Structure formats: C-alpha cells, structure tokens
Amino acid sequence: MLDPAPNDGRIVLVDNGLSQRVGHHAHFAFGLARMQLASKRRFIVLADARMEPELANGPLRARRVFTLGLNQFPAEGDPFERTWNDQQLALRYAEDLSRSGFKPLQTDLLWMPTARAREIAGLAAWLKALRRRPRVALGFHSVIRPLDPGTVSGLLHRMAGRAIDEAVGQTRVLAYATNKPLAQRLSPALGLMVHVAPLPHFYEKLGSEEPLPALPAGDGAVVGCLGMQREDKRFGDLPALLGRIHARRPDLRFLVQVGAAGLEPSFAALEANPRIRLIRGYLDDRAFCALIAACDLLLLPYKPERYVARISGPFVFGAVYGTPSVVPAGTWMAGRIAAGMAAGLIYDGDDDAIAEALSRGADDRTSLKAQAGALGKPWRNWDGRALVKAVCRWAAGRSLGALGQSRAVS
C-alpha cells in the first residue's frame, strides 16, 4: 500500500479552463494560491496554453500546457458521432500533458477543479503511460448531456471512471460535486463515490463603503441580472423580459451584466431607459460581491431543466451577502429556498410569472433582505477554504472532514 501524501506534498492545479485573470476558474485558482502561500505548501498550476500573460506571474505562475480549452467541442461532422469525437480529444489532452515536461510525484495531489469525462480520460492516459500514481481530486459543477444508462455520455463517464481507477486506483481518487442531485447522478455513471463538497467560492470581507458603479436613477428596488452571459441563463431573452417587467413595474431599477464587447442592439437599447444600467465585462471579486450586496433582489430567469443539478454562482453569493433571489421552480436554487436555507421567491410559469414574482419581491424587499441576512452564516462557512482543507486532509490520509457532513447547504 502506498503511503499517504505528506502535509508538504505539492498541489498541482490542472485546469484547461484557466485562461483569464477573472471568472470562475481564476477565482478558484487565486483563492487556492493564497491558501497555499499561507501554508507554505508547494503549488503548481497547469493552464490553457492561450492564457493571459499575467497569469504566468504573481501567485499562480501558471504554465502554458493545454491546447484544447475546457469548452472546446466539435461543432461539425456527423451529429451522431460528435459526442464520441469529442471524447477522442482526450488523447490530445494527454499529449499536451506529456509535452509539458511536467512529471508528477507520488506525493502530489493533482486537482482538476472542473472535471469532465474527456479531461479525466486524458489525465488517466497520461498517468498510466508514466506509471505514476499521485492522488487525484475531481470537481464537478454540472453535466452537459444526460448520463442515464444507455446514453453515450453515460458510457463515456463510465469509461473515464474506469480509466482513472486503472491509472491510480479508486482509493487515490476523490470525486466531489457542488450539490447532492449532481452527486447522485454522477456516482453510478462514473462508478466512483462522488461526495457533496463545500462550494469553491472565496468570499471577500466587504467594508461599509465599497466603490460601486453608479446605480440607475430612481428609488425603486434594485434588481441584479449578474453573472456569465450564457444561453441556459436565457441571457438573450433579457431585453424583451425587462421590457415586459417595466411595463408592469416602471419603478424597478436593473443592473445587467453584459460582455465587454460586441453588444447586441437590443441590449444597447436598454441604456435608453435611465432605470437600467449595463455592467460591461467581468468584475474582480470584490467589485462583484459589493454589487451583489447593493442589490435588493437578484433575478435568475434560468432554464429550469439545466439547473436541477447545478448551483448558481450569483444565487450563492446573494445568500452569502444577504440578497434574496427570484428563481424558477424545480431547480436546485428553488429547493434551497423551499427548505428555508435561503431567502427569495420561486416562480412557476412563463415571463408573466417572473414579472409577478419580481413585483412581489420588490414590495417585500425589506423583510426578504432581513431574512437573507439572517441565513447567511452557513453559506459563508461552506466555502472554498472549507473545501481546500477537506481535500488536503484527504490527501494527507486523514478523514474527509467537511465532506462527511450531512448538514451542507448544498
């Protein structure tokens, strides 16, 4: 039996999604780097080969490794073969690692914070060829395709689980998910135990006078539409949706986060309304947290089927900083509100249902904000620091700690 990794073993962050100084991947990488710097534990980062030059310096000192980005998928070819063709890119992932010249040690912890079947299979192939057996931590945030028995995606996850087992052995793999429904889907598909883990977020301590962008004119409730601009968040529907809401409640004020460039005319037209302000591009962590805290409500008009087993970053940050959310029924977020773990309103229906729920939330914003503030402590404790400590305990051969707690807000 191999000896457990000692306390001073290296942590190697393996992330082909890390390419910018801002965003989810950078948030976790910098938070992890700060913790390792404080503990004097050796820390190595293997990132996207096209990363911003600044990531090669500072606390990360990231190495350019991966020529295949996390969100790069085959867009052409026979649609029946695309999922399988995507999986074949695992070989390219393994080749990138081999060309990097990096050699893992038996005492290393290789941490893949956003794991997918393709990348797991590539990592396993590389380790098997090297005949090295470091410990491996795999973090899951969502699944892109159904994992049911008989599906191609389900098969590819089972193949990836077997591959990493063959490479290092199940006892040297820690798989975790950000929420229970996701863990319950992944465990049988991968053939691995998938734990529910603390969330990979590091929450800034905000002062009483944090600098903020100018808020929209008026004195109505401030509603935030913040976070990444993705199709599953119905980002493209926001102009029409906000128009419908304003026809009903012209007093409401909106902060809408959009991309830094290439703004669609329908979004540019929103700025003609003095009660709507566009926030362009990513924000640094402190500015994002301060903006969340400044809002009276967060509007999350997401496609519910995509969020049954997926957390929402803005929702969680709202729970931490005392801002309630308006969310669709049947989602992970709605489950947290229904269970009394977070404050907010749940809508069930079309855009009119969203407008009605938001209107009720605006009328009740004072009590909802107070409720959100009173529920914040468990969310603040179930954070990236708790995750890192739990994973490092496991890597050192000790108990899973926080991963064994059943009272998780997630």
Same domain, 291 and 236: yes
**409, part of any domain:** no
The β-bridge partners of 175 are 138, 194
Same domain, 92 and 28: yes
The domain in which residue 21 lies consists of: 11-202+383-404
Same domain, 238 and 149: no
Q: How far apart are CA 298 and CA 293, in angstroms?
A: 10
Q: Is 233:263 a contact under the CB 8 Å cutoff?
A: no
Same domain, 172 and 30: yes
Cα end-to-end distance, the chain, whole Å: 34
In this structure, what CATH number is given to the domain that contains residue 114?
Answer: 3.40.50.2000
Same domain, 373 and 400: no
Same domain, 176 and 242: no
**354, part of any domain:** yes
Closest by Cα among 238, 282, 234, 277 to 260: 282
Note the pLDDT tens digit of each residue in 21-48.
988 999 999 999 999 988 888 999 999 9
Could you tell me whether strands 297-299 and 222-225 are parallel, antiparallel, or unpaired per DSSP bridges?
Answer: parallel
Same domain, 231 and 366: yes
**79, part of any domain:** yes
Closest by Cα among 109, 87, 114, 108 to 177: 114
Q: Is 223:358 a contact under the CB 8 Å cutoff?
A: yes
Amino acid present at 217: A
Could you tell me whether strands 325-328 and 344-347 are parallel, antiparallel, or unpaired per DSSP bridges?
Answer: parallel
Q: How far apart are CA 122 and CA 118, in angstroms?
A: 6
Same domain, 375 and 387: no
Per-residue model confidence (pLDDT) at position 408: 63
Residue with tokens 């990493």: 164
Same domain, 248 and 141: no
Alpha carbon of residue 12 to chain centroid: 19
Same domain, 257 and 194: no
**214, part of any domain:** no
Same domain, 239 and 254: yes
Q: Is 204:285 a contact under the CB 8 Å cutoff?
A: yes
For residue 363, count other CB atoms closer than 10 A to its CB.
12
Per-residue model confidence (pLDDT) at position 111: 98
Per-residue model confidence (pLDDT) at position 8: 59
Q: Count the domains in the chain.
A: 2
Amino acid present at 160: A
**What is the strand order of the sheet 222-225 is part of?**
276-280, 253-258, 222-225, 297-299, 325-328, 344-347
Closest by Cα among 148, 147, 161 to 190: 161
Closest by Cα among 390, 360, 3, 20 to 172: 3
CA-CA distances (angstroms) from residue 179 to 27, 93, 142, 185, 198? Answer: 19, 27, 9, 10, 9
**343, part of any domain:** yes
Could you tell me whether strands 173-177 and 43-48 are parallel, antiparallel, or unpaired per DSSP bridges?
Answer: unpaired
Q: Would residue 6 be called left, alpha or beta, if left means φ above 0 and alpha means ψ between -120 and 50 degrees?
A: beta
Per-residue model confidence (pLDDT) at position 404: 60
Q: How far apart are CA 163 and CA 122, in angstroms?
A: 9
Q: How far apart are CA 291 and CA 318, in angstroms?
A: 10
Strands of 232-370 (E only): list them.
253-258, 276-280, 297-299, 325-328, 344-347
Q: How far apart are CA 78 and CA 326, in angstroms?
A: 40
**312, part of any domain:** yes
**56, part of any domain:** yes
Per-residue model confidence (pLDDT) at position 11: 97
Low-confidence ranges of the chain (pLDDT < 70): 1-8, 208-210, 401-402, 404-408
pTM above 0.85, yes or no: yes
Per-residue model confidence (pLDDT) at position 409: 80
Closest by Cα among 294, 297, 249 to 275: 249
Is 1 buried (19+), middle (13-18) or exposed (0-12) by CB count in 10 A?
exposed
Per-residue model confidence (pLDDT) at position 372: 98
Same domain, 228 and 192: no
**5, part of any domain:** no
